[in-house]
A = this chain, B = another copy of it.
């Protein structure tokens, strides 16, 4: 295992300490591994979180226009209910708290317990569950689609809505509108290594890629020969459109690196995805290209497409100021 770390069992605390040093607008509570805004805002509070190893998600999205607190579990492990309750406390300004949870059984269980605990303290808490990864079928019999990079669009849009002074119910409604309209799919070229485990999560050949992998070091739904960027773009867009027909809509697109993929490759893929989308009649109006929701040092990329209407577009393009995403009005 080659990593710039100290103790493999202390990576989350060591990382959050560094994150606090580098960002003066956030506060790190080392007892509960919670990152929160330094100045509480008089609005609906937004909390997200989950296992670490997805940096900058979610702590990097704490700040104006996005989250109020992020709860950081161990690498790829759900945070505990009492950690999440601390996140709720940090985010609560008396207007209620919305939790944005990725669709994993452990996360849902712990965030729901925390919601109950907060209810006992008369804090109004609700939650939404993000399920954007079309590599897993959404059926009544299973947990269904996983939550991956589409979660960032939920942070952005629900965060912008909360800044307008909207009610908990209104913020939840727009968050669910994003969830209904966002889909993702990814490919990986290498596995990643959980520090406390010390070896890669799967083996992959020098000429192979994993198609439809998740963000927790697991292999994909299929192993294929490595394809060109154009072929990967076609594959990804086909998989997404097979799950949801976006018609001829305006869309926002995120080309997300999994951690070890250079920006060069992400931009090449963005160009190819754009060609495919335009060929299919979609109207991409905004791209996000970079490492937004990673899987430690996995090489690969995911593509997320969000169907926009006037409301979602306005909220997406509104300003935000967080360590990992800054937007000014002009954009």
Contact = CB atoms under 8 A, between A and B. Distances in A.
Interface of A: 2-6, 11, 14-19, 21-25, 52-53, 55-56, 60, 187, 189-190, 206, 209, 226, 228-230, 232, 255, 259-272, 274, 284, 287-289, 291, 294, 296-297, 299-301, 321, 326-328, 330-331
B264 A11 contact: yes
A199 to B, nearest CB: 11
Shortest 8 CB-CB distances between A and B: which pairs?
Answer: A18-B267, A18-B271, A260-B260, A22-B287, A18-B270, A55-B263, A326-B326, A4-B265
A255 to B, nearest CB: 8
A284 to B, nearest CB: 8
A229 to B, nearest CB: 5
Contact of A230 (B6, B16, B263): B6
A11 to B, nearest CB: 6
A24 to B, nearest CB: 7
Nearest to A19: B267
Contacts of A301: 4
Instruction: Decide if the interface of chain A is mainly helix, strand, loop or mixed.
Output: mixed
Q: How many copies does the complex hold?
A: 2
Given A4-B261, A22-B270, A321-B328, 19 more contacts: A2-B206, A2-B299, A4-B189, A4-B300, A4-B301, A5-B229, A6-B272, A14-B267, A14-B268, A16-B267, A18-B255, A18-B267, A21-B270, A21-B271, A23-B287, A55-B262, A259-B262, A260-B262, A262-B296
